[in-house]
Amino acid sequence: MSQSSTAAIPTVTKAEERKVIFASSLGTVFEWYDFYLYGSLAAIIAKQFFSGLNDTSAFIFALLAFAAGFAVRPFGALVFGRLGDMVGRKYTFLVTILIMGLSTFLVGVLPNYASIGVAAPIILITLRLLQGLALGGEYGGAATYVAEHSGNHNRGYATSWIQTTATGGLFLSLLVILGCRLTLGNEAFEEWGWRIPFLVSALLLGISVYIRMQLSESPLFKKMKAEGKTSKAPLTEAFAKWSNLKIVLLALFGATAGQAVVWYTGQFYALYFLTQSLKVDATTANLLLAAGLLIGTPFFVFFGWLSDKIGRKPIVMVGCLIAALTYFPIFKAITHYANPGLEAAAATAPVTVVADPESCSFQFDPVGKKVFSGSCDVTKSVLAKSGVPYSNEAAPAGSVAVIKIGDKVVTAFEGGGMDKAAFKERQAAFSKELGDALATANYPKKADPTQVNHGMLIALLALLVIYVTMVYGPIAAWLVELFPTRIRYSSMSLPYHIGNGWFGGFVPTIAFALVSWKGDIYYGLWYPIIVAVMTLVIGTLFLRDTKGGPIDD
């Protein structure tokens, strides 16, 4: 490149590069900590803020509120991506961490549903939306900032430290939650102690802001600004011109969508599967996942380093492939080692719901006004709450649902026309009758702590985390290298946050809705598998690898 007409790229020393990596990564860890607290405490938040709904709706709605933060991330990518390409990387992601930290702190002081009624979930969701907007601007800024300080032959390694931050934030949130649980006890923690991890974010926010104030602007952005080449309309350049929009779409469907579902299945859905489907004690499940994260996290840096040697694309594609091929056996093995009593009961006395398909509702009521009183709905609600897997069998139209448990048959009841008090009384009696029948067939109410194989579960969870590191470790470098400097922040942020916010963030919600619909506790895995296969095909056929190339265009 001729230096007569262009400004020289400011030199970055190794010490400065390490400082940039450390400062950007630490701040981003804290931001992910804030974001993941909600997901880790979804069951408690359901009770605190959605107590006006029935149990099934409350948990699904809590998951939807969690997913709402992911839903708006692409809009945050647009808003802050534009600012980052016009104003600069440093100040943009300084603003994002302020929004994130303050929103998280406010969740910690927000009155619950019992105190202020429907205003509580409305304010909660508003704060989640602000968190999502902030995170939409954070990741692209941090990844771009680090990449623009690194060299052409170590960019995968340098940006992989940013990739550790999401898992690091989740790990930190789990540690703080566990510390509070063990110190206060489960009862006090679920009543008021759950607020403490949110309040801790104020301290983390102060540390993050101080660290980021010490950083200088990206050298490539400085050079571009000195030459007067910053984009005046980055969103138009990024998304209104087909030459760049085509790469954005390929990056979404051929890279980030599959990466996202592998990530959220391996970290979040695995936790929910343990606690909700297999009824493992929450503290035990968190400790198991924390151990798996601790083992798996170094592989982010390993696969980032490896991508500098063999390329970004092959590692991400192989990660999607092996995840799609092995999810079913891995989750079945998790059942075997976490709740062998449930596995044995399901094998010896399988449960079948025999009901008129037309009488079975999709049991989700966000406003809490509808009563699911049909015999099929009553049956499935009790089974879902018990974590009991079942199959479905069609019955003649208008018939009352029956439940086959091995060779035993329990008849449900039709609650239509009953007043509320009578319905609740009849439902309680039916729940007891069905519970007694399940107990006779040796279905456990909770996972037996003495039968939980901690070693094997940690190994399986660590394997799921390693899948995450394969697809996520190289992705930042890959996205940065696909787009030109003047519109890089905007261009890479949108496909990343649509992939992770929409495809990935909705994994727990969609998976549990599918499980509730079919009764098969593994049925929800079809969603991440299908998306991962889609990414494998599109990415392999249409997306180029980028390792080793310059990014100062």
| pLDDT of residue 3 exceeding 50 | no
| 56: confidence class by pLDDT, cuts 50, 70, 90 | low
**Nearest to residue 145, comparing CAs of 257, 276, 27, 8?**
27
How is the chain split into domains, by residue range?
14-339+450-542, 343-440
Percent of the chain with pLDDT over 70: 92
Question: Mean pLDDT, to the nearest integer, of 64-85?
Answer: 81
**Which of the listed ranges 144-158, 199-213, 304-318, 426-440 does the model predict with the highest average pLDDT?**
304-318
What is the Cα–Cα distance from 463 to 295, expressed in whole angstroms?
Answer: 9
pTM: 0.84
Rounded distance, CA 136 to CA 72, Å? 8
Distances, alpha carbon 429 to alpha carbons 400, 412, 423, 426, 435, in Å: 17, 10, 10, 5, 10
pLDDT score, position 369: 54
Q: What is the mean pLDDT of the chain?
A: 85
Give me the CATH code for the 343-440 domain, please. Answer: 3.40.30
**Banded model confidence at residue 2, pLDDT cuts 50, 70, 90:** very low
Does 367 score more than 60 pLDDT?
Answer: no
Q: What is the pLDDT of residues 226-276, one digit of tens each?
A: 777 777 888 888 888 999 999 999 999 999 999 999 999 998 899 989 998
Q: Which residues pair with 536 in a beta bridge?
A: none
Angle, alpha carbons 476-536-244 (nearest 5°)? 55
- Give the helix/strand (H/E) hosting 157: helix 155-184
CA 264 – CA 109 distance, rounded (Å): 28
C-alpha pair distances (Å), 221 with each of 69, 97, 230, 440, 481: 29, 21, 8, 69, 15
Give me the pLDDT at residue 531, please.
Answer: 97
8 A C-beta contact, residue 367 and residue 64 = no
**CB-based burial of residue 246 (10 Å sphere; 0-12 exposed, 13-18 middle, 19+ buried)?**
exposed
Rounded distance between C-alpha atoms, residue 100 and residue 32, angstroms? 9
Structure-token pair, residue 527:
């969603």
pLDDT at 366: 47
Could you tell me how many residues make up the chain? 553
Between 39 and 425, residue with greater pLDDT: 425
Whether residue 343 has pLDDT greater than 90: yes
Greater pLDDT, 60 or 142: 142
Whole-number pLDDT of residue 83? 82
Q: Is 142 helix (H, G, I), strand (E, B) or coil?
A: helix
The confidence score (pLDDT) of residue 5 equals 39
Nearest to 57 by CA among 303, 428, 367, 325: 367
Q: Are 43 and 280 in contact (CB under 8 A)?
A: no
Cα 242 to Cα 252: distance, rounded to the nearest angstrom: 15
pLDDT of 327 over the 90 cut: yes
Does the pLDDT of residue 84 top 70, yes or no?
Answer: yes
In whole angstroms, give the CA distance from residue 140 to residue 217. 15
Token representation of residue 357 = 């398909």
**pLDDT band per the 50, 70, 90 thresholds, residue 482:** very high
> CA angle 276-197-296, nearest 5°?
60
CATH classification code of 14-339+450-542: 1.20.1250.20
- pLDDT exceeds 50 at position 462: yes
pLDDT score at 364: 52
